[in-house]
Structure 1
Amino acid sequence: MQPLVVIIFGGSGDLTKRKLMPSLYMLFKREELPEHFAILSIARTSFTNEEYRKHIREHLRKYTKTEEFNTEYADNFLKSVYHETLDPSSEDAYPALKKRLDELDNTIDNPGNYLYYLATPPVLYETIPLLLQKAGLNRPTEKKPGFKRIIVEKPFGHDLESARHLDHIYTSIFDENQIFRIDHFLGKETVQNILALRFANVVLEPLWNRNYIHHIEITAVENMGVEQRGGFYDQTGALKDMVQSHLLQVLAVCAMEPPVSFDADSFRNEIVKVYQSLKPMTPKEIRSQVVRGQYTASDAGKKHFSAYRQEEKVDPHSRTETYVAMQVNISNWRWDGVPFYIRTGKQMPTQVSEIVIHFKQTPHIMFSSLTHCPHPNRMIIRLNPNEGVVFTLSMKIPGSGFNMGEVPVEFTYDSLGGVPTGDAYARLLEDCIQGETTLFTRSDAVEASWRFLDPILQLWAQDPKIPLYGYPAGSWGPGAADRIIREEGTWTNPCKNLTKTNLYCEL
């Protein structure tokens, strides 16, 4: 691999400490970084190189798995980590940045291969690319012929208009193959395994359609509040923070048609087709098929949970949603008539992301001793934690008579003998270093997702009578969300443990 400089804007921030540096360290430990590399942190916070290395070392120890942290590897990794105290929003800072990059290029013999990571508040997503362009750091030059790539965190825009505006800026400064809009859900091994599950098993793909599937649930919930992100979250909310990116991405992977091959264009073309098939909602449907909520103070067990409006940097009269549940319909040949129920929320009883495929009921009661059809088959695809798949079958219970029971057919990743599921950020960073764009969101997908969600945001803004339901922190959300799925039964409230849920439920 060619030499490389990774430039992290927001190098003193939470994302860098918790995710980026531990992921880059893991790539270094696995020898998946170039032999000659440098990581340059850019932030207004003042550090010397040694102070910053000490600061990052503490967080590597904290956020890296105990069995993965090695003092010798960490020290060697940190020798290539540097910090520059600059204001990334100021044009005056970029000549100093350019000079620092020249020094690092000379140190590691780098031809100008730069990977920019915007780990900053979204307000800087527009500013930094424009200033990089003014400094001549956005494209290869005769003296610096190396690649220039930029990684942007979600949310990419806050509505359709802002997403189009942001996309216009980026595509005028960079080529599309230089832009990496990151969604770490697509970096998860279990999300990618949905493709293998669907398209590598002939027994499943013929069933994966409206003829055999009754409805699908997608849940991504957290058992924590907004923590130190109150200022950001209060301007964003669950719909923009989770639904527009993570949940619609997972829905698209579930619903997509098989790509011709697993390459960037083929895969992303099929993802976009799903987004374009999302059935637009009328105001009446938004009122009946979308429920929003906000967590309130509660005492669950021996612990007291503060209300969202009591969180640091949150408006005490905030109407920002921390929970969203909605019914989504896809208008195409495969999925017409199959509702997708998606929900996300903070301060839930546990932290779980999973997909539940509910198959249709058997059409006929074959066994005369039964008063009802056996339970429909279900497939649970657990994205985290306890990653794996459970498929329930109806079987006869041993003994006299013909009583039926559900039997789970289970697979968990930890049964593979310790093979790690990997870190999503590490996987995506490695892809970006190699110029592999398959698992990164394309601009037309971003626009299509905002086009679907924009009417919801607009109606919420225009009609203050649309309820924002309170729900006690530590509960499964507002009771009003049950009405969305009542026709199908109830929501599947998952346990933290994927298997043996008939014996115990860990939260």
Structure 2
Amino acid sequence: MYTENQVTGDMSALMVIFGGTGDLTNRKLIPALYNLIYDHRLPKHFAVAAVGRRDMDHEQYRKVIFEQLKKYSRNEIDQRLWEKLSCLIYYFQLNFTEKTGYERLNTFLSKLDDTYQTHGNRLFYLAVAPEFFETIVMNLHNNKMAVETNDSWKRLVIEKPFGKDLKTARLLNEKLREVFREDDIYRIDHYLGKEMIQNIMVLRFCNLVFESLWSNKYIDNIQISLAEKHGIGSRAGYYEQSGAMRDMVQNHLLQIVSLIAMEAPINLTSDAIKTEKLKVLNSIETFSSESLKNNVIFGQYGRGVIDGYPVPGYREEASVKDNSNTETFIAMKFHINNFRWAGTPFYVRTGKRMGVNAAEIVIQFKSMPDVLYFSNDAEQEPNLLVIKIQPNVGVFFQFNTKDFHMENEVISTKMDTSHTSGEQGNTPEAYEKLILDVIKGDSTLFSSWDEVEASWTIADRIIEYGRQKRLKLPNYDAGSMGPVLSFELLARDCRKWWNI
């Protein structure tokens, strides 16, 4: 149960959620807000205006989200705390394309500002389909709801996808910049809110034993795997337009790569960290036609068995075309062409309907020479540092030591500090951290436009290659760990995927 503690400062804010009746709000945002009030981290002067197209009043809306909260909250539901939060949540019906409705919305928000003493500070959260981003932002601008003053701030949170390619991302960014300053645009990547993603920099830059070895001199290869057991469910409309490249690689995977490979920033400010991350993205090798052919594997799941139950193939999912070539899996090998990493391969993979739910980073160190203990043809296990993101959260280290039951035998020993987390995917915990950061004005865990632009430059090349390539799909069974070609990708280099 909770204990009475002082909340974090007086960060007054009115949070305006466009898409207040949507899946993201029900499953992530409202549970995040409840857990913040449960942990006494919600600002003292705070209110929520949920904007949606359905016809309902405040009480009806609160009843709807309460039912969802009971399903998705990580904490038990305390009725007193729920009543305290529910009194801060209001509903406003609006068709996002209805220009006249924004006038009424402005009046409504001004009343909430006065009631809750939020001083005009507004957090506009666009939990809507991408086609509404520009419409909503321009209507905010036309009705003077996005005007920043010396006494108040206006911030915009954009969920992915930020464009569908570099061209559309640039056009969207130009429109947003007409209304909001770059410093006030928060492009959310929920993976950056996860515990162990935030811990990457601490692990590296607070431990000499790791940072001194963090280079091509000592590291053989780096692997990043983001695997999901579930399929696309009811998200075919979105997924058919995105595929694994736009859904996972262009944002989550490349953001993780930039944190793993970055140089130490000059300080811990948002700008300093983003500067070093951007250098990594700009140093990723340009994919030639030949390297694309040899180092990029696309996949799509067919029928299979997950946890003992048969599941359909991707083309059999609701609203998916019978001949769809949308990729649900991708594996890649690439290099970062800078002084620290030149010659060290990075292998990344992500897929749906795979054999495990797991997200982890594996740092494989180079092996010792085959002398002394390894001179008798004994198989040498490499040193591994594994950063476990989910469902196990923590750090795993594998090293060699003597087997005291055998003469001169060496065995692999494992140190594991990880613990099991019951949450999967884009968890409410990640959103709790990210919502608070927006209110504080801390954009460290959000993607800058320069990072988005660099990521799309890489992704566009791969997406175009996939569009032209004639794929024989489906090419992996649900419940497996992906196409055979993805294993051959590493086998050619005498390496293998590590499943810890």
Deviation at 1:363, TM superposition (A): 2.2
Deviation at 1:314, TM superposition (A): 2.1
Conserved? CA contact 1:469–1:478, under 8 Å: no
Which residue of structure 2 lines up, in the alignment, with residue 176 of structure 1? 182
Cα distance in 2, alignment partners of residues 87 and 317 from structure 1: 35
Which residue of structure 1 lines up, in the alignment, with residue 280 of structure 2? 274
Q: For residue 184 of structure 1, what is the amino acid of its counterpart?
A: H
Question: How do residues 54-73 of structure 1 correspond to structure 2 at under 5 angstroms?
Answer: 54-65=63-74, 67-73=75-81
Q: For residue 465 of structure 1, what is the amino acid of its counterpart?
A: R
Which residue of structure 2 lines up, in the alignment, with residue 341 of structure 1? 347
Q: 1:36 aligns with which of 41, 45, 59?
A: 45
Cα distance in 1, alignment partners of residues 72 and 368 from structure 2: 48
Conserved? CA contact 2:282–2:454, under 8 Å: yes
What TM-score results when the alignment is normalised by the length of structure 1?
0.92
CA change 1:473–1:422 in 2 (3 A) is closer
**Gapped regions of structure 1 (runs ≥ 5):** 416-420, 495-507
Which residue of structure 1 lines up, in the alignment, with residue 483 of structure 2? 478
Q: 2:301 aligns with which of 295, 312, 326?
A: 295
Deviation at 1:3, TM superposition (A): 3.0
Q: 2:395 aligns with which of 389, 392, 411?
A: 389
Which residue of structure 2 lines up, in the alignment, with residue 306 of structure 1? 312
SS of 1:235's partner is helix
Cα distance in 1, alignment partners of residues 480 and 374 from structure 2: 41
CA change 1:198–1:300 in 2 (3 A) is closer
CA change 1:5–1:333 in 2 (3 A) is same
Cα distance in 1, alignment partners of residues 371 and 79 from structure 2: 64
Deviation at 1:284, TM superposition (A): 1.6
Instruction: Show CA shifts across 1:88-136 (max 9, x none).
Output: 2332221121111122122213321110111111111222111111111
Conserved? CA contact 1:365–1:372, under 8 Å: no
Deviation at 1:50, TM superposition (A): 0.5
Which residue of structure 2 lines up, in the alignment, with residue 105 of structure 1? 113
- Alignment of 1:380 with 2:383, yes or no, is no
Conserved? CA contact 2:32–2:428, under 8 Å: no
Q: RMSD of aligned C-alpha atoms?
A: 1.8
Instruction: Show CA shifts across 1:377-404 (max 9, x none).
Output: 1111101112011111111111342111
Identity %: 38
Conserved? CA contact 1:189–1:422, under 8 Å: no
Deviation at 1:492, TM superposition (A): 1.7
Instruction: Show CA shifts across 1:152-203 (max 9, x none).
Output: 0112111111111111111221111110011111111111111111110111
Question: How do residues 75-154 of structure 1 correspond to structure 2 at under 5 angstroms?
Answer: 75-141=83-149, 145-154=151-160
Instruction: Show CA shifts across 1:427-486 (max 9, x none).
Output: 01001011111111100000001111111112222x242444521111111111112111
Most deviating of 465-474 and 354-363 = 465-474
Which residue of structure 2 lines up, in the alignment, with residue 320 of structure 1? 326
Cα distance in 1, alignment partners of residues 351 and 374 from structure 2: 44
CA change 1:261–1:400 in 2 (3 A) is same
- Alignment of 1:435 with 2:441, yes or no, is yes
Conserved? CA contact 1:255–1:274, under 8 Å: yes
Cα distance in 2, alignment partners of residues 491 and 307 from structure 1: 24
- Alignment of 1:407 with 2:375, yes or no, is no
Q: For residue 88 of structure 2, what is the amino acid of its counterpart?
A: S
Cα distance in 2, alignment partners of residues 54 and 368 from structure 1: 66
Which residue of structure 1 lines up, in the alignment, with residue 269 of structure 2? 263
Cα distance in 2, alignment partners of residues 42 and 318 from structure 1: 35
Deviation at 1:79, TM superposition (A): 0.8
SS of 2:183's partner is helix
Cα distance in 1, alignment partners of residues 50 and 200 from structure 2: 36
Cα distance in 2, alignment partners of residues 381 and 368 from structure 1: 27
CA change 1:55–1:374 in 2 (3 A) is same
Conserved? CA contact 2:388–2:394, under 8 Å: yes
Following superposition, which runs of at least 4 residues in structure 1 exceed 6 angstroms of deviation? none
Conserved? CA contact 1:369–1:401, under 8 Å: no
Which residue of structure 2 lines up, in the alignment, with residue 501 of structure 1? none
Cα distance in 2, alignment partners of residues 232 and 437 from structure 1: 27
Cα distance in 1, alignment partners of residues 486 and 278 from structure 2: 28
Deviation at 1:313, TM superposition (A): 2.5
